[in-house]
């Protein structure tokens, strides 16, 4: 019995160290912010051995926002039947994959943390982002602008959104202030219409712009 009590107290102690906190990110109109990235600064995760994928479908990067860990590799298949020319000038990784078709493309390794902005030399409207975490827990908001993270009050999070007023290579920092649920409201640039968002989330984006 004594051991059981000790084990029970131990379990309570563990549960108090962190909880599942649900963050909801909204903009100035209280609309959910989709494809924002939340990084838990004081966390430690290993780099997955899996190769992440940044597809190109109907002249859009899919997903528009990809989260990976430092030293993870990404492949850039072209699912269109015409050529793309993917490039980035961003500091964490400047690279290009010259005019190509097909899906068998050697992956690119991203060995520094930060934000990589992707473009295509042929299609100016193509834009995508790879957010490279520094082996910290990292997750992208869903259609409700929500993430659930293993955090506790006082933890620091870095938040990225394509819509941040400071620019797409910046992050904003916030403190966790709740053990259960917290809403972060931001002044942001207008939401961007993409077919990816329309497909998955038509109602949330339907009437504002
Ligand atoms: Cu292109």
Same domain, 116 and 141: no
Helix (H, G, I), strand (E, B) or coil at 160: strand
Same domain, 82 and 114: yes
36-82 pLDDT, tens per residue?
999 999 999 999 999 999 999 999 999 999 999 999 999 999 999 99
What's the pLDDT band for 3 if we cut at 50, 70, 90?
low
- Ligand 1 (ion): residues with CB under 5 Å are 84, 120, 122-123
Examine residue 97 and state whether it is found in any structural domain, yes or no: yes
Q: Which of 135, 161, 180 is the last residue of a domain?
A: 135
How far does the centroid of ligand 1 lie from the alpha carbon of residue 118, in Å? 11
How far does the centroid of ligand 1 lie from the alpha carbon of residue 102, in Å? 13
How far does the centroid of ligand 1 lie from the alpha carbon of residue 7, in Å? 58
Same domain, 126 and 153: no
Q: Give the H/E segment covering residue 14.
A: helix 2-17
Phi, psi dihedrals of residue 169, rounded to the nearest 5°: -100, 5
Examine residue 204 and state whether it is found in any structural domain, yes or no: yes
**Which range of residues forms the domain containing residue 128?**
51-135
Same domain, 40 and 141: yes
Examine residue 99 and state whether it is found in any structural domain, yes or no: yes
Examine residue 85 and state whether it is found in any structural domain, yes or no: yes
What's the pLDDT band for 202 if we cut at 50, 70, 90?
very low
Examine residue 6 and state whether it is found in any structural domain, yes or no: no
How far does the centroid of ligand 1 lie from the alpha carbon of residue 147, in Å? 31
DSSP 41-101: TT---PPPSSPEE-EEETTEEESSEEEEETTEEEE--B-SSS-EEEEE--TT--EEEEEE-
Domain count within the chain? 2
Q: Which of 135, 155, 186 is the last residue of a domain?
A: 135
Examine residue 9 and state whether it is found in any structural domain, yes or no: no
How far does the centroid of ligand 1 lie from the alpha carbon of residue 184, in Å? 35
Phi, psi dihedrals of residue 74, rounded to the nearest 5°: -130, 135
86-123 pLDDT, tens per residue?
999 999 999 999 999 999 989 999 999 999 999 999 99
Residue 201 has pLDDT above 80, yes or no: no
Same domain, 112 and 157: no
Least trusted range by pLDDT, from 63-67, 192-196, 201-205: 201-205
Same domain, 30 and 81: no
Q: Cβ distance 102 to 78 under 8 Å?
A: yes
- Identify the pLDDT of residue 89: 97
- Identify the pLDDT of residue 135: 98
How far does the centroid of ligand 1 lie from the alpha carbon of residue 57, in Å? 9
What average pLDDT does the structure give for the chain?
89
Q: Tell me how many degrees the CA angle 199-116-87 measures, rounded to the nearest 5.
A: 85
How far does the centroid of ligand 1 lie from the alpha carbon of residue 97, in Å? 11
Residue 203 has pLDDT above 50, yes or no: no
150-186 pLDDT, tens per residue?
999 999 999 999 999 999 999 999 999 999 999 999 9
Give the domain CATH number at 30. Answer: 2.60.40.1120
Examine residue 8 and state whether it is found in any structural domain, yes or no: no
Cα gap 88→181, rounded to integer Å: 36
Examine residue 207 and state whether it is found in any structural domain, yes or no: yes
Q: Which of 83, 101, 135 is the last residue of a domain?
A: 135
Same domain, 30 and 58: no
Give the domain CATH number at 126. Answer: 2.60.40.420
How far does the centroid of ligand 1 lie from the alpha carbon of residue 85, in Å? 6
Residue 5 has pLDDT above 60, yes or no: no
């Amino acid at each position: 019995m004594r051991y059981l009590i000790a084990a029970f107290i131990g379990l309570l102690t563990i549960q108090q160290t962190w909880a599942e906190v649900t963050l909801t990110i909204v903009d100035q109109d209280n609309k959910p912010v989709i494809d924002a990235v939340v990084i838990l600064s004081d966390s430690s995760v290993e780099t997955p051995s899996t190769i992440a994928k940044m597809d190109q479908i109907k002249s859009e990067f899919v997903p528009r926002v990809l989260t990976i860990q430092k030293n993870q590799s990404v492949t850039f298949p072209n699912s269109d039947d015409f050529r793309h020319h993917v490039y980035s000038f961003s500091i964490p990784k400047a690279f290009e994959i010259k005019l190509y078709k097909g899906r068998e493309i050697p992956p690119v390794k991203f060995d520094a943390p930060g934000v990589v902005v992707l473009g295509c030399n042929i299609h100016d409207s193509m834009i995508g982002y790879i957010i490279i975490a520094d082996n910290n827990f990292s997750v992208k908001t869903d259609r409700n602008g929500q993430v659930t993270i293993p955090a506790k009050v006082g933890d620091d999070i870095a938040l990225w959104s394509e819509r941040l007023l400071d620019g797409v290579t910046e992050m904003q920092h916030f403190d966790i202030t709740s053990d259960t649920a917290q809403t972060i409201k931001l002044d942001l640039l207008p939401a961007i219409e993409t077919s990816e968002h329309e497909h998955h989330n038509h109602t949330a984006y339907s009437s504002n712009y």
